[in-house]
Amino acid sequence: MRKPLYLVLEDGSVFGGFSFGADIEGVTGEVVFNTGMVGYPESFTDPSYKGQILVLTYPLIGNYGVPDNFEQELSHNYESAKIHISGLIVSEYSDYHHHWTARRGLSNLLKEQGIPGIEGVDTRALTKRLRINGTMAGKITSTPHDTRLDMPFRCAVLDVSTLEIKEYGSGKKRVAVVDCGCKNTIIRSLLNRGLKVLRVPWDFDATSLDINGILFSNGPGDPHDCTATIKTAKKAIEMGIPAFGICLGNQILGLAAGASTFKLKYGHRGQNVPCVMKGSRRCFITSQNHGYAVDSQTLPDGWETWFENLNDNTNEGIRHVSLPFMGVQFHPEAMPGPVDTGFLFDEFIGMLR
């Protein structure tokens, strides 16, 4: 018999369904939605989802199972070594799965990782509520009238960054990746281009290393919480060290340059988000996962908007007009999603000193 389970939002609304993950309740988190049709193994293991309860708008989930190589360093099937979402909400979970890489069902993975899941939820109504009212806190519980929400603050980057310096590759040029919750594919994208990568903690001063450039990675939460990382980015700009920011890294670069950031109403999460390169008619379909953005109107002299979101016209990238500093809000490494903007890694390499 399936156990009834509920998602209770901070506005008092309740969405009911049945448990298909770990038998855990009382989990709280920011409730957000993702519009992607595929790519759930990669999405669930993206550290940018730390502390969030994820709603998938695509109605059928689990039909191609999950692969089985969590133990592998820089796995090609997962973006980190664990699931980072706090909970999962879907319309219909498929008990039957079939794929040549599948080793077990999604439900098995959620149970192994201690992540609760609810299926049978009216995700269309839930997503509409989040679009109208914005993202909000939520709780997974077996008691629908349990509206107590304890959401203690903690800088999420602390839980997803590496604790020590790690080295990858053997290229002649060395790039420091400031790990705010870096996805595996970002590291692999650099290694595939012949670089030596030094992965450092989020609060490590990467400018002290013998490097040719710095990449500020993706990650969860409010960029203002990453004060040490912003300080490093400021030093990189002052020293003229080529820098590339991705997602949270783009926001950190913007703050270091003197711009401001703001929280989006419900964020951009999916693999189908159109972005245009400013000053051109080139549009790219991008993979995205973020809840904050740089305010284009606050960019200081010497900086310009590079990409713009075609859905809401928010900033999707910044760059300096003459110096080697650039960032994008979307994910050029994809995984999941289209690889249309992978060429940006080549542009970064072209800037290395």
Contacts of 248 (CB under 8 A, 6+ apart): 48, 157, 180, 181, 216, 217, 218, 219, 220, 221, 223, 226, 290, 292
What average pLDDT does the segment 335-346 reach?
95
φ and ψ at residue 109, rounded to 5 degrees: -65, -45
* Domains 4-141 and 157-351 fall in the same CATH topology: no
Give the model's pLDDT for residue 225: 96
Query: What would the pLDDT profile of 198-228 be if each residue is shown by its tens digit?
Result: 999 999 999 999 999 999 999 999 999 999 9
Q: What CATH number has the domain spanning 157-351?
A: 3.40.50.880
Give the model's pLDDT for residue 58: 96
Give the model's pLDDT for residue 56: 98
Catalytic residue among 119, 308, 316, 333: 333
Cβ proximity of 81 and 118 under 8 Å: no
Unique residue bearing structure tokens 């994910």: 331
Residue 79, both tokens? 């973006």
Distance CA 182, CA 249 (A): 10
Cβ proximity of 116 and 24 under 8 Å: yes
Query: What would the pLDDT profile of 277-301 be if each residue is shown by its tens digit?
Result: 999 999 999 999 999 999 999 999 9
What average pLDDT does the segment 341-347 reach?
97
Query: What would the pLDDT profile of 137-189 be if each residue is shown by its tens digit?
Result: 999 999 988 777 877 777 899 999 999 999 999 999 999 999 999 999 999 99
Catalytic residue among 247, 268, 275, 290: 247
**268 carries an active-site annotation:** no
What are the extents of the domains in the chain?
Answer: 4-141, 157-351
Tell me the CA distances in angstroms from 90 to 135, 140, 270, one per residue in order. 17, 13, 15
**333 carries an active-site annotation:** yes
**99 carries an active-site annotation:** no
Tell me, letter by letter, the H, E, C secondary structure of 224-292.
Answer: HHCHHHHHHHHHHHHHCCCEEEECHHHHHHHHHHCCCEEEEEEEEEEEEEEEEECCCCCEEEEEEEEEE
Is the bond into 336 cis (omega within 30 degrees of 0)? Answer: yes
Q: Is the pLDDT of residue 70 over 90?
A: no
Give the model's pLDDT for residue 149: 81
Distance CA 304, CA 300 (A): 8
pLDDT bucket at 307, cuts 50 / 70 / 90: very high
Give the model's pLDDT for residue 69: 75
Distance CA 331, CA 338 (A): 9
Question: Would you tell me which CATH number, out of the four given (3.30.930.10, 3.40.1280.10, 3.90.650.10, 3.50.30.20), belongs to the domain 4-141?
Answer: 3.50.30.20
Distance CA 75, CA 260 (A): 35
What average pLDDT does the segment 240-265 reach?
98
220: DSSP letter: S
Tell me the CA distances in angstroms from 19 to 45, 91, 313, one per residue in order. 20, 12, 38
SS3 104: strand
